[in-house]
Structure 1
Amino acid sequence: MNTAAAATPVAPDRQNALDRENGLSRENALSREKPLNRETVLDWEKLYAARLQAARARPYLATALFALHLVESRQVPTMAVDRYWRCYASPVFVDRTPVEELAGVWVHEVSHLLRDHHGRSERIARELGLEGPAAQLRTNIAADCEINDDVYGDGLVRPAGALRPGTLLLPEGLLMEEYLRDYRFHPRSLEAAWLDCGSGADGTDRPWELGPDGAHGMTAQERDAVRFRVAEGIRGRPGDAPAGWQRWAEEAFHPPQPWRQLLGAAMRSAVSGPGAGEDYSYGRPARRSAGVPGVLLPSLRRRPPRVAVVIDTSGSVSDDELGSALLEVAAISRAVGGRDQVTVVPCDAAAQAVHTLCRTAGIPLLGGGGTDLRAGFGAALRSTPRPDVVVVLTDGQTPWPSSPPPCRTVVGLFARPAGYDEDDPDYRPESPPEWARVVTIG
């Protein structure tokens, strides 16, 4: 070995390049600048001071910040969280990082938990078939991009090495799922190879985490209560929070509903209820005929239910929504067990022809004018044979029948703001009647 060559110092820029080429972690790179002291103890006071500074900079996150239970760990590269709201901190990292940057790390880690990155990561991993360490790192990077694009500034210092979408040539303002679908590893990713924000960021448990049975873990009810309190604070003072947090707070109060499942459940309930698909038949006499000599009584038999679908084709319904309506018509036909049991009535201000469903691509959705679905109800109920269930797909900008039809009614309501008439700012559309089962679509 050439000891002279080994002792030759390497320029810092050249050493950083060598580190990246050799795939060294950020922790190893930092160890060149300051010797690793295995006896370093966690500076609790410094961490508490950083948390207090984070709460002052982002008061709407204070409830979540102080709900985290702090755990010392020498296996964590920097700081990380698990899904049970424990925050793991490396003593060496805390010792080397200024309080101002630690405050940013606190906010970053609690953001993973508030935005349910662990639950969302598991769902998107199943959808995309992601597994293994590389997928885990990709998910962590995508989650960081969602957080870091607007979390810093205004009194909160961005920590050194915090990954932003622009660093990876990605647009800002997207969700973790969108980043995960678009992002692929490239040379810019080498500096992010050290990332590990714990199972709270990507849903994968770590060996150093305490798990569900460990001390100081929060229950699902406690975690939901913290999220609700934070969302309540953001909604109370919306001007203090970035757009990403305001969007999160709205979804926390009004989470997106699985409307397809809800609409399907409403349909199944309607077509399977008593009276739907029931009719009298002389094909098999009733047993009571034996008690009435010379009189043939019909028996009650169940047949496949008949469904009439009234589709709003007025100008206020978009082409995308009409396409969604056709997909739902096809799903309804499968639910009732046959296309010959479903009729379709396009309607704007007047009802169009009643079509028997053969294939969704062949249904002419004529219209484009005003809206009066009372005509659609009338056409559906006059059709032969009469339907057992009427399904209405509309945006709700219509008058409704004054009395309930003689069958069950399910309304699929395309989401709309409370009022948007420029000529009449006080205008509010009529709500669907109480006798209809309503499911909001979208």
Structure 2
Amino acid sequence: MSGHARKLTTEQEDRLAVWRMLAEKHAPYASALLYAARYVNVPGLETLGAADDRLRVFLDVDAMATSWSDDENAQVLVHLMYHVMFDHHTLARQKLQVDGDLAPDLWRMAADAAVNDDLEDAGLHFPSTVSRTADALGMERGLSAPEYYDALARRAREAEMDIFHLGETADGLLDGALALGTDLRDRASLDFLTRSWEDLDLIAPPAEDFEVVAAVHTVAEEILKGKGASAGRLGRWASEVTAPSILPWQTIIGGYLRKTAHRKPRGLRKSFSRASRRQAVRVVMPDGSKGRKILLPGTFRPDPTVVFMRDTSGSVEDHELGEMGREVEALAVQCGIHEDRVIILDVDAAVYKARRLSEKGVLRSASGGGGTDMRLGLAAVPDLFDREPDLVIVATDGGTSWPQTPTTFPTIALITSDGTDSTPDWMPSVSVLGKVA
């Protein structure tokens, strides 16, 4: 299968843009997921589409454009976003862990039925070309995916069927629920939906956990605002998602560091220390003869730079700064960012010398101890480095003034345990006690 995955062509991108626009019209609350998703073209997929837990959506774009209308394909996108919203991948893994086995085809039907119940409640009535509903399965509406699965598995076992090798013979028992208008067979298996293809990350970089959580949280907020969804189970789901819950700050900061490590640095740089392997020029002499061959400078991408800015005023405990620094150091190493590229910058009412994390004892020694003004530290960053850092993490108790306008480099505040979050709206922040997600 991995050889089939490929990027969308320009023409396919145009088609997808139309489907996504129509999908947003059908379900405006789902726009955050629709635009955060990474779309992959998989010719021969033999199904309307699939989604993994890294916000990647697999479509046979040309087959969809030939077989279905733009409106039907838009509804397929909304259907797939619902699988992500309700985290059916995690539910499948939990079900597999509890039961010890899982029939992929039955799980797909169960998850589809649960999704379509909520879509109908939200006022979206899909045509028969999309997956079946609970009514088509002859079951009660409003069940969860695990409940539908248990009922389907029980029905199959009563008929003495091997539910792990379901084939065309199952169509009669389950009223054609396996058909979906296509022949899925093993391509819709749990393995297909969750595997990491060898070249897939190059085609569609996976979304980080915090990106998925943020997109789903935004969808829930939009539902509660009444953007195109009625009350009922979908509203109850949105309320549960937006209820306060705690994520460890290491998870949030680790997500930013991983994204920084994988982000392509802004632009290429040239250096004669790396001669270009593909380009060279030859000087033409006045008499028309060939002169000396001149090598051109090669290009390279600089490694990402992370700045850990410490509020060293008297209101912040040194031991907590040291502990947070060690955690950031460990996270950076895990993400493949070298110690030389992590810069420690101490700030109170002044900005002190920038030091590399690789310097001996840098985390155990802090400069300053006076007042607090993180505006000075953030304003000094562009002058301290040849190029802007890829991420600045500001560790502070929050008792400081902040710039009113966003920085030109990514910045996130890490608020100490006894601090108050006073960060401006443009700056993301996380408390060491946890983040309300």
TM-score in same-fold range (> 0.5): no
TM-score, length of structure 1 as denominator length: 0.43
Instruction: Specify which structure has the bigger relative contact order, considering alpha-carbon pairs within 8 angstroms and separated by 6 or more residues.
Output: 2
TM-score, length of structure 2 as denominator length: 0.44
**Which of 1 and 2 has greater Rg?**
1
